[in-house]
A and B are shown apart, each in its own frame.
Chain A
Amino acid sequence: MTPTTTRAADGVRPPGGTAAGKAAPGTRPAPAAGRRRGRRETLAGYLFLTPWCIGILLLTLGPMLVSLYLAFTDYNLFDSPRWIGFKNFQDLFQDDRWWTSVQVTLKYVLIGTPLKLAAALAVALLLVKPRKGQGFYRSAFYAPSLIGASVSIGIVWRAIFNDDAVVDKSMSLFGWDVGGWIGDPDWALPTLTTLTVWQFGAPMVIFLAGLKQVPGELYEAAEMDGAGRWRRFRSITLPMISPVLFFNLLLELIHSFQVFTSAVVIAGSGTNTGGPGDSLLVYGWYLYEQGFRNLRMGYAAAMAWMLMLGIGLVTAVLFKTQRGWVHYEEDAR
């Protein structure tokens, strides 16, 4: 689990092409036979790749190209698409609800992701030291992420935070009567955010793996120099796991931008879209409403590409800043 270190990359054989050249350098047979065998190997490589190729062509690349085309059309799912150039994109910027969805999503991502990573790191730090029942605790903390993507957990969340449900009732005991959190435009988004923070299991496991790779002698040396706990964390742990942190940050950001299921399950009842006063109108939900309910598939495709551009931009910026704060072990050598 050390992403993007060069040593790990060496271990991975690039598929096809150059594979034959590197194979068994000591026992290289006659050149002609080698070439023939090389070609066979290449062929076999590609053949083994076919299921994946078919998958990516039919299920990913193909639909993406179609969606790119649709983004420039007026398409209602039933009549054939009509080319309208950049009109969908122009309309987006005029659309108040689109801006609302951008704002809601940004709030969700910018608040939820750091909190989630902080929780994941904190729990990973607790779990990295060997102790009794370690396996149990690790699984227990990971469990919410396993079930988290499913609809059922959204329903549970709704049951907990609804009007007159557990949270509302216990808060009322302390004289704080907010009513249902999900129906309250000010509390709906924080409720959704707690759901994502609670599902910190996946980044936690990755943090755990990263923490285990930090050499113990660094801490010993630091301790001898009189470094306190906080100092050791700041100056050893954080820099040493920064590649893992970077990886987690990237993954979680991209993931959060695409939030859909939890928002819909928590707040979507009857004809209700976007939660109370559109306070839960996350980007994916608005896209879905436009495409599948209002039958504006071209507009929805344009929205999808704007989201892709947005995520691409954020990722690019992160990669640019990487030099400033991510330390790879190899740099020191």
Chain B
Amino acid sequence: MGAGRWTARARGVRAAAAAAAVLGLLATGCGGGSGSGDGKVTIRYSWWGAKDRAELIQKTVKLFEKEHPNIKVKTDFSEYTDFWSKFNTQAAGGNAPDVFQNSYAFLRKYGDKNLLLDLNGQADAGNLSLKGFRDGLEKAGDIDGKLLGVPVGANTFAFFYNPDAFQKAGVTVKDGWTWDDFFAAAKKVRKSDGTLYGASDNANVMYLYDLYLRQNGKAFFTKDSKLGFTKDDLTEWWGRWQQHAKADELVPGKKSEQAKPKASISADLSASEFTWDNFLVRFAAETKTTLDLGPVPTTDGKRTAQYLSSLMLSGSARTHHPKEVAQFIDFMTHDPEVGKIMGYNRGIPATTAQYDAYKPQGVDAKIAAYEKSVSAKLEPITPHPAGADVAEAAFLRIYTQVALGQSSMGKAVDQFFSEAESALGS
């Protein structure tokens, strides 16, 4: 018995050693290169969005692969917040997607960390055309002389309203109306319709406050990456909205939280709301109520101070295939077929070639008409420093706590300044 057990044990030892060796091999195998070996180049493309966007993008990717048979595109997508968490993790591991959807708000954040490919070199090499962009959009991704992103679509802020409710209340929305006019209109609508609030409480929307500040000669961020307003300014802005919310003219905080993920206007709670004009596409899917786009209120009766913002495509600075990435971006921004497929899903197409290829119908036609009506008023965009996204999230969250009655105005303003300053400082 003893000898038998001994050999059994020896066999056991050998088996264990073999197992260890296999494990070791596996470990090295995982770290191996990713070359595909058949002369084909594979690039990874990520974006944020929902299923509707995913279906459109898949079509455009197929089109690109047909046009460039030597390039294979691997795609993945997630929701907005998850997208950035995932991106941060991948980028920190040196494994960012070769090309990805980006927006102006993130250019400095990731540009400062040298994560974004400077596309100027590729443009000079002829792999990416910067011609044919509307309204100077080819400059939108230019940060301190580096081209960190190329816009695929542009959007601007708008006043959304329910024309029936406004007509019933006898209010008209016209160019050059003021904030006083807006709040008076909200009050009238509320009085005339018991089921609808006059407006959503948008005091927590950073981009709206930015417009208000710009109308008053300031801006949300300054060029040297600081907040461009004082605590008194913010107290005045938030206080004004609170005053009307307490008068029961705006949607109460709790109701708008409960309506999420819908916006208050698309949940049929309010008759008006401020947001980006291309949201009309989403709202049309969420509510049967007809909505129209109107001008943003002004301070002096003239200036809305609005600007074009855009969704962009950026490349990773660590990509092994900068040429293919540039070709991909070039195709996605210029190809008329792509323009036809995408429509206004990511805002109005940035190049005239795609803009002309798509004939807008229904809500898209409304967006096109709105952008045409404001194109003469467009101004340069406010710079977004690194940390702008964190400041935006804090702005949204902290005012919501005021609207929910969880925080006093003074405390909320202090808290916003402390969070935003620490986000912008680091």
Q: Residues on A close to B: CB < 8 A?
A: 27, 29, 37, 40-41, 43-44, 47-48, 50-51, 54, 74, 76-79, 96, 163, 179-180, 182-185, 268-274, 276-278, 288, 292-296
Contacts and interface: CB of A to CB of B under 8 A. Distances in A.
Given A77-B88, A292-B88, A183 B113 contact: no
Contact of A47 (B17, B257, B401): B17
Contacts of A29: 2
Contact of B254 (A185, A274, A288): A185
B81 A268 contact: yes
B66 to A, nearest CB: 34
Given A47-B16, A96-B415, A278-B397, 19 more contacts: A27-B2, A41-B9, A44-B13, A47-B17, A78-B115, A163-B267, A179-B254, A183-B254, A184-B258, A185-B404, A185-B406, A269-B260, A270-B260, A273-B81, A276-B258, A277-B401, A293-B88, A295-B88, A296-B426
Interface string B82-96: 001100110110000
A179 B20 contact: no
Contacts of B254: 179, 183-185, 276
Interface of B: 1-2, 6, 9-10, 12-13, 16-17, 19-20, 23, 79-81, 84-85, 88-89, 91-92, 113, 115, 253-255, 257-261, 267, 390, 392-393, 396-397, 400-401, 404, 406, 415, 423, 426
Contacts of B1: 27
Nearest to A187: B258
Contact of B390 (A27, A182, A294): A294
A183 B6 contact: no
Contacts of B84: 293
A276 B404 contact: yes
Nearest to B79: A270
B404 A277 contact: yes
A260 to B, nearest CB: 13
Nearest to A178: B258
Contacts of A37: 6, 9
B366 to A, nearest CB: 23
Given A183-B254, A277-B257, A293-B88, A270 B20 contact: no
Contacts of B85: 288, 292-293
A277 B406 CA distance: 7
Given A40-B13, A76-B426, A270-B81, A183 B404 contact: no
B260 A272 contact: yes
B16 A183 contact: no
Nearest to A274: B397
23 contacts: A40-B9, A40-B10, A47-B13, A47-B19, A47-B20, A48-B16, A74-B426, A77-B92, A78-B91, A182-B258, A184-B257, A184-B258, A269-B79, A270-B81, A271-B81, A276-B254, A277-B253, A277-B257, A277-B406, A293-B84, A293-B85, A293-B393, A296-B426
A179 B85 CA distance: 31
B96 to A, nearest CB: 11
B19 A51 contact: yes
Contacts of B415: 96
Nearest to B18: A47
Contacts of B88: 77, 292-293, 295
Nearest to B423: A294
Nearest to B85: A292
A185 B9 contact: no
A76 B89 CA distance: 11
A288 B260 CA distance: 22
Contacts of A276: 254, 257-258, 400, 404
Given A47-B16, A50-B23, A185-B404, A273 B397 contact: yes
Nearest to A44: B13
Nearest to A43: B13
A85 to B, nearest CB: 17
Contacts of A74: 426
Nearest to B86: A292
The 10 closest A-B pairs by CB, nearest first: A183-B258, A47-B16, A77-B92, A276-B257, A180-B258, A269-B261, A183-B257, A292-B85, A78-B113, A179-B258
